[in-house]
């Protein structure tokens, strides 16, 4: 090992012990994710004919067809950053298993959701959106789940319907018509909201302004007194919002 | 590579209605009326944002509050209109073809 490689790891995950063998998990998720991402891109841009300019503008970078899961054969220094959110999310469930999961971002999280059902018997509810549609078309056969669906109209209208775990991506929180407060209001006491890609491709930090909608929804959470928030700025960023265990806890 | 064997639960019509409301609301924020909505293109909307919410100033190393505010409006409107348009294109196709 040359001196400049001192901080590039040769091994990353042999010290993790979890429900799965990490190499088998990476192989399974990776092999399907790559092919399915290509199929989704072809469907969106060739079959439907969605405006391709959206890719470059950031306006629709919804990550339907990029690579989401770790590659066992890539340099592990790169793979580390992909493992971080997977292991962190799994660890949260291990510490405090949840029963009613809301999947905000559909198939993007299929390999994160599958362990919840397999290990903890959690009920999974998908929000009715494009990512659910793409999951059912392209991803469900490789990662089958038992699930219900709730439309956005139902989600908004029924304040009594609560979830104790929500798995989401940043772009779902940036819509002013479905603000982060809506999701936190639908969290049960003691519930957890996990939001991925919350560094906004590092724009949140590089820009040195408060111009990002990502800054805005983090600030909205800071204004609430019924939850705690942890923004972890590694890789694409991950934010964990933990709702108080009971009303007026703090 | 499509999965047609499992029962699909995605409700395209409800998704289309919901996302269409977002597009309409965003266009009204930009000043378009309900009469305009059928006629304008996504380019019209984006160009209007670029013309109206101009935030660059002479010294980009200095953050000026009004520039930050206008930049935030520009980014938020652009992203959300494009995402809503993306969602509407998808849901409309599903309603009409699937």
Rounded average pLDDT over A167-191? 94
Helix H or strand E encompassing A167? strand A163-169
pLDDT band for position A71 (cuts 50, 70, 90): low
CATH topology of domain A78-243: Rossmann fold (3.40.50)
Question: Using one digit for the tens of pLDDT, what is the confidence trace for A191-234?
Answer: 999 998 888 766 777 656 677 888 889 999 999 999 999 999 87
Whether the per-residue pLDDT at B69 is higher than 90: the answer is no
Q: Give the chain B residue whose CA is nearest to the CA of A36.
A: B1
Q: What per-residue confidence (pLDDT) applies to A231?
A: 94
Rounded average pLDDT over A145-150? 97
pLDDT band for position A59 (cuts 50, 70, 90): very low
Q: Where are the beta strands (DSSP E) in chain B?
A: none
Q: What per-residue confidence (pLDDT) applies to A104?
A: 96
Q: What per-residue confidence (pLDDT) applies to A184?
A: 98
Q: What per-residue confidence (pLDDT) applies to A124?
A: 97
Q: What per-residue confidence (pLDDT) applies to A250?
A: 59
Rounded average pLDDT over B67-90? 88
**Which of these ranges, A63-72, A79-88, B48-57, has the smallest mean pLDDT?**
A63-72
Of B10, B14, B75, which has the smallest distance from its Cβ to A153's Cβ? B14
- Asked if A122 contacts A100 with a C-beta cutoff of 8 angstroms, the reply is yes
Whether the per-residue pLDDT at A58 is higher than 60: the answer is no
Q: What per-residue confidence (pLDDT) applies to A141?
A: 92
Rounded average pLDDT over B74-89? 89
Rounded average pLDDT over A140-157? 96
- Of A21, A105, A20, whose CA–CA distance to A63 is shortest? A105
Which residues 87-116 on chain A approach chain B with CB closer than 8 angstroms? Answer: none
Whether the per-residue pLDDT at A60 is higher than 50: the answer is no
Check CB contact under 8 Å for B89 and A213: no
pLDDT band for position A89 (cuts 50, 70, 90): very high
Q: What per-residue confidence (pLDDT) applies to A55?
A: 55
Which token pair is A195?
């939001």
What is the value of ipTM here, to two decimals? 0.89
Check CB contact under 8 Å for A54 and B85: yes
Q: Which residue has the higher pLDDT, A47 or A75?
A: A47
Which residues 33-72 on chain A approach chain B with CB closer than 8 angstroms? Answer: 35-36, 39, 44, 47-51, 54, 57-60, 62
Of B71, B72, B86, which has the smallest distance from its Cβ to A50's Cβ? B86
pLDDT band for position A37 (cuts 50, 70, 90): confident
Rounded average pLDDT over B70-87? 88
Q: Would an 8 Å CB–CB cutoff place A146 in contact with chain B? A: no
* Chain B interface disruption, residue of A34, A35, A36, A48, most B CBs within 10 A: A48
Rounded average pLDDT over A70-98? 77
- Residues of B at the A interface (Cβ-Cβ below 8 Å)? 1-3, 5-6, 8-12, 14-15, 17-18, 21-22, 25, 42, 55, 63, 68, 71-72, 75-76, 78-83, 85-87, 89-91, 93-94
Instruction: Tell me the average pLDDT of chain B.
Output: 87
The residues, ordered by sequence, that sit 6+ positions from A100 with a Cβ below 8 Å of its Cβ are A122, A123, A125, A162, A163, A164, A165, A188
3-state secondary structure A56-102: HHCCCCCCCCCCCCCCCCCCHHHHHHHHHHHHHHHHHHHHCCCCEEE
Q: What per-residue confidence (pLDDT) applies to B36?
A: 84
pLDDT band for position B4 (cuts 50, 70, 90): low
- Asked if A130 contacts B16 with a C-beta cutoff of 8 angstroms, the reply is no
**Which of these ranges, A72-76, A216-220, B48-52, has the smallest mean pLDDT?**
A72-76
Check CB contact under 8 Å for B15 and A130: yes
CA distance A198 to A173: 10
Q: What per-residue confidence (pLDDT) applies to A11?
A: 60
Q: Where are the domains of chain B?
A: 12-97
Of A60, A144, A211, which has the smallest distance from its Cβ to B83's Cβ? A60
Q: Which residues of B touch A176 (CB under 8 A)?
A: 76, 80
- Asked if A248 contacts A189 with a C-beta cutoff of 8 angstroms, the reply is no
CA distance A63 to A169: 9
Check CB contact under 8 Å for B18 and A144: no
Rounded average pLDDT over A46-55? 78
Check CB contact under 8 Å for A149 and B11: yes
Read off the pTM.
0.89
Q: Which residues of A touch B76 (CB under 8 A)?
A: 174, 176, 213, 216
The phi and psi torsions of A91 (rounded to 5 degrees) equal: -65, -40
Check CB contact under 8 Å for B82 and A54: yes
Q: Where are the domains of chain A?
A: 78-243
């Amino acid at each position: 090992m040359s001196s400049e490689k001192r901080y590039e790891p040769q091994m990353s995950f042999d010290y993790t012990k979890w429900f799965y063998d990490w190499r088998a998990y990476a192989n399974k998720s990776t092999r399907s994710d790559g092919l399915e991402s290509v199929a989704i891109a072809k469907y969106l841009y060739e079959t439907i004919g969605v405006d391709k300019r959206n890719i470059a503008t950031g306006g629709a970078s919804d990550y339907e067809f990029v690579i989401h899961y770790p590659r066992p054969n890539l340099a592990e220094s790169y793979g580390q950053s992909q493992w971080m959110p997977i292991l962190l999310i799994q660890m949260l469930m291990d510490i405090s298993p949840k029963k009613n999961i809301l999947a905000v971002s559909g198939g993007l999280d299929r390999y994160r959701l599958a362990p919840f059902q397999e290990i903890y018997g959690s009920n999974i509810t998908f929000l009715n959106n494009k990512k659910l549609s793409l999951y059912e078309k392209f991803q469900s056969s490789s990662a089958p789940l038992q699930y219900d669906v709730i439309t956005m109209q139902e989600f908004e209208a029924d304040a009594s319907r609560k979830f104790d775990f929500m798995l989401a991506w940043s772009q779902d929180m940036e819509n002013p018509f479905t603000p982060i407060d809506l999701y936190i209001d639908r969290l049960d006491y003691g519930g957890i909201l996990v939001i991925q890609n919350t560094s906004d491709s590092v724009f949140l930090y590089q820009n040195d302004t408060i111009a990002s909608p990502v800054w805005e929804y983090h600030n909205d959470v800071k204004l609430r007194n019924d939850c705690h928030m942890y923004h972890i700025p590694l890789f694409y960023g991950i934010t964990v919002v933990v709702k108080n265990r009971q009303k007026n806890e703090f | 590579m499509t999965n047609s064997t499992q029962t699909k639960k995605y409700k395209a019509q409800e998704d289309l209605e919901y996302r269409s409301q977002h597009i309409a609301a965003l266009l009204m924020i930009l000043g378009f009326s309900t009469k305009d909505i059928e006629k304008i293109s996504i380019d019209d909307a984006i160009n209007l944002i670029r013309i109206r919410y101009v935030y660059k100033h002479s010294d980009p190393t200095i953050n000026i509050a009004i520039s930050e505010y206008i930049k935030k409006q520009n980014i938020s409107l652009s992203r959300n209109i494009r995402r809503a348009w993306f969602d509407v294109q998808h849901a409309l196709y599903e309603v009409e073809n699937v």
